[in-house]
Chains A and B, each alone.
Chain A
Amino acid sequence: MSKATLKINCSYIPSEIITAAGYQLNRVWPNNIGSKGRDLLPTNYCPYSRAFLSEIIDEKDKLILANSCDAMRRVYDIKNNISYLLQVPRKINKTNINFYKEKLIEIQNLLLKNKDKQLKNEISQNKLLEKEVMEFNETRELMKKLRDEILINDKASFSILVNVLKNNYYKKDKEKIKKAIKKIKNYSKIKNNDYYPKVIISSSCLLDKSLIKKVEKSGMEVVALDSCLGERTFDFEVDKNYDNIMENLASSYLNKKLCPRMMDLNKRLAEIKDLVFNRNADGLIYFIPKFCDQSSYDFKFIKEWAQKNNFPILKLEGEYNAGQKGQLTTRIEAFKESLKIAVNNEV
């Protein structure tokens, strides 16, 4: 019998709990705002939420929605009959980790409600959770390897990472990830002598890969994808202390690389700085999905640091397929030129 599917909206929702309860996990990554449910949210509204709503509007099975933002709460308003709204704390401290742990236990109980006794049994459920933690840790490791392979091979595009993340990560399809790594390893290693400015792409949610393609096509090298549709989903490990597995999950997920929605500014900035220095980036492109407060304030904060440190930063705003918009092309090209000039001056 095929497993029931459970859809989610956020990388802070621990996958392990869902798969251990016997569900097939589906992180919803829409490609565009569909035709359904368009009239339910205003047009001047978060594109991801609108696209997400369109994708799940006819959904009959359960959903777990993270209480990420006002826009996601509006999606919950519409589908609250089948959804569980998970309160994800914005700050990381003992009180919040404990609270999050309680919420995760609540989800686990909810998911196991109609399951057979064998699965519900505490010992077997813990064993299943341990197994899922190991499985996902291995999958995360492979995703990191894939990213590293992309980084060392200048023929490989970061859009491969997006494809694998969307199609294989949540399915723990390790073979497919390995295949992708192998494929990149076989790419030609002949170095191009031209200089390609190295840029980080940052966002709350990068909607799709069109911007990556556009940036790479314009002659820049993407060296980091700071987005949930990117490295933030897999660039961490769940601690292997299985004595208190729920606390472990709560702590590991809350402590992963921060989403702009979180409010620990020092940690967020430290992570951005790490990316800049470890990946040797020349600049940062910040993509704000239209009408996203989280990204707007996060950009303002990072921009201030960048300005103080004379680090080039470009703000882009858009909806789905932003990379295909002519206006953005001009700005990306101009940014590349300015980076080239800056690098040449340094040399």
Chain B
Amino acid sequence: MYKLFNNKTFIKKALNIGLSYEIAKIIAHWKAEGFMKEAFLFNIEETKKAYNNNKPTVWCSTFVPSELIYSIGGVPFMPEVAAGFVSKIGMAAETLHKAESDWFNNDLCSIHRCGTGLMLEGYMPEPDYIIASSHLCDGAKRYLQHISQEYEVPFYLLETSYYNNEIKYLIKQIKELIDDIGITPNFEKVFKRSNKAYNYHKKVNELRKKDPVVFSGERALNLVTMEFMSFGSKKGIKFYKKLANTLEKRIRNNEGIIDQQRYRLLWLHLKPYYSQEIFTTLREKKAVIAFEEYYQLYWEKLNIDKPYYSLAKKMINHFGWGELKEQKNDILELINNYNIDGVIGFSQWGCRQNNGRMGMLKKELKDENNIPFLNIHGDLVDSRNYQEGQLRTRLQAFVELIDMKKGGK
């Protein structure tokens, strides 16, 4: 099986043949169940649609609301998500190398280098057009613009307003984008789906407040693609519904994800997608990730009477956008709501927004609020700089510090 994944021709052919998706679906039905099955099926279906080209494939950055793409009848394809996937299956080094040999600096975000490598290797589905948002990440928009040049397809940039009082500017751009594409959007159907999924997601977030922790942060972050891409799809509703059902059942049965759990942690930013020992190390010390910043429902339910406003608001409301104190207050609220003992922030190499802010958040939370905070510098997809021993020691020391703070009970 591993050899097949390493065979470029096989992968490229498989991605473009309908039969491979049918086989993948059979495996998903056979091997997975509940919310995991829904997540697999969603990803298989969306990938298939992106490659078979019956609908416009819209490449976009992860902060463009998926509801916008579904409303215009498109298939969202987020190369940043694809980069995480190839890292998971051990193909990232090859694609990173490919991008670097094509003059991509290795201090640029590895997610974007990896996505570029995938494109250069010919693995990606051809886009019909590309939409990027300007907020949170300078790299994503530039990298997507570069890709639009390679494929010679239209590139749209949504310049995201920084303050709420600038929302009209973003609304106008979303309207202009839709006018330019020339498709009448079906907001009603898509928004209804998004809001249904939202309700179940809200329930999930409520259930995750319970102790012991019944849904691991590691798994939640492995499924982050559902956060980025599933809102507005049918499968999104099913996924969050089944996830809520599973968590309810686990709570009823008092089925924590580890025995004798002692510490609840909050995770900021994403996690490395290659094989690593971070979460195992934490589990050994009886610590689990109880919640993640990326699992917040930071937006309001979408209003069908104000579709452009709702989409713009969802973008502006992102937890990493806007003033530092807002992000800090959100985190403090999460710490309170999820009974958090300590915070782990992951500083992604090359990510100027997250890497730059993590030190400030640490200062605010640790120095001013006396909350144990560990800032891990690492890479989400490039395992070449992963130093297991060193990280293991830091994680162990961090949990011991929390233990001391709690009185070593």
| Chain B residue, CB-CB nearest to A86 | B162
Question: Is A70's CB under 8 angstroms from B149's CB?
Answer: no
Question: Is B103's CB under 8 angstroms from A297's CB?
Answer: no
Which of A41, A85, A293, A303 is B138 in contact with, Cβ under 8 Å? A293
Q: A69-B138, A95-B173, A293-B108 are in contact. Are A90 and B353 (CB under 8 A)?
A: no
Question: Is A297's CB under 8 angstroms from B356's CB?
Answer: no
A297 to chain B, nearest CB (A): 4
Question: Is B146's CB under 8 angstroms from A70's CB?
Answer: no
Question: Is B143's CB under 8 angstroms from A71's CB?
Answer: no
Q: A74-B360, A80-B324, A300-B103 are in contact. Are A263 and B162 (CB under 8 A)?
A: no
Question: Is A301's CB under 8 angstroms from B146's CB?
Answer: yes
- Render B133-175 as a binary contact track against A, CB cut-off 8 A, 1 for contact: 0101111011101100100000001010110001001001100
Question: Is A74's CB under 8 angstroms from B357's CB?
Answer: yes
Question: Is B143's CB under 8 angstroms from A297's CB?
Answer: yes
Q: Is A291 an interface residue (CB 8 A)?
A: yes
Point out the residues of chain A lying under 8 angstroms from B134, CB to CB. Answer: 90
Q: Is B259 an interface residue (CB 8 A)?
A: no
Q: Is B107 an interface residue (CB 8 A)?
A: yes
Point out the residues of chain A lying under 8 angstroms from B136, CB to CB. Answer: 70
A290 to B142, CA, bound (A): 17
Which of A77, A96, A290, A300 is B159 in contact with, Cβ under 8 Å? A96
Which of A71, A87, A317 is B356 in contact with, Cβ under 8 Å? A71
Q: Is B105 an interface residue (CB 8 A)?
A: yes
A80 to B323, CA, bound (A): 8
| Chain A residue, CB-CB nearest to B139 | A293
Q: A46-B352, A291-B107, A294-B142 are in contact. Are A91 and B157 (CB under 8 A)?
A: yes
Q: Is B176 an interface residue (CB 8 A)?
A: yes
Q: Is A299 an interface residue (CB 8 A)?
A: yes
Question: Is A41's CB under 8 angstroms from B356's CB?
Answer: yes
A300 to B359, CA, bound (A): 30
A45 to B161, CA, bound (A): 24
Q: Is A42 an interface residue (CB 8 A)?
A: yes
| Chain A residue, CB-CB nearest to B353 | A70
Question: Is B357's CB under 8 angstroms from A77's CB?
Answer: yes
A294 to B103, CA, bound (A): 14
Size band of the interface chain A makes with B: 35 or more
Q: Is B355 an interface residue (CB 8 A)?
A: yes
A296 to B99, CA, bound (A): 13
A242 to chain B, nearest CB (A): 26
B321 to chain A, nearest CB (A): 9
Q: Is A89 an interface residue (CB 8 A)?
A: yes
B343 to chain A, nearest CB (A): 18
Q: Is B347 an interface residue (CB 8 A)?
A: yes
Question: Is B176's CB under 8 angstroms from A265's CB?
Answer: no
Interface centre among A69, A70, A90, A288, by most chain B C-beta atoms within 10 angstroms, is: A70
Point out the residues of chain A lying under 8 angstroms from B141, CB to CB. Answer: 90, 263
Question: Is A263's CB under 8 angstroms from B324's CB?
Answer: no
Which residues of chain A (58-81) have a CB below 8 Å from chain B?
67, 69-71, 73-74, 77-78, 80
Pick the 5 closest A-B CB pairs, nearest first: A70-B352, A74-B356, A297-B142, A77-B324, A70-B353
Give 12 CB contacts A-B under 8 Å. A40-B359, A45-B352, A67-B162, A87-B161, A87-B166, A90-B157, A99-B166, A263-B157, A288-B105, A291-B350, A293-B138, A300-B103
If A40-B359, A45-B355, A90-B157 are given as contacts, then 11 extra A-B residue pairs at C-beta distance below 8 Å, sorted by A number, are A42-B355, A44-B107, A45-B356, A69-B352, A70-B138, A73-B353, A91-B157, A265-B149, A291-B107, A294-B138, A300-B103
Chain B residues close to A by CB (< 8 Å): 103-105, 107-109, 134, 136-139, 141-143, 145-146, 149, 157, 159, 161-162, 166, 169, 172-173, 176, 323-324, 347, 349-350, 352-353, 355-357, 359-360, 363
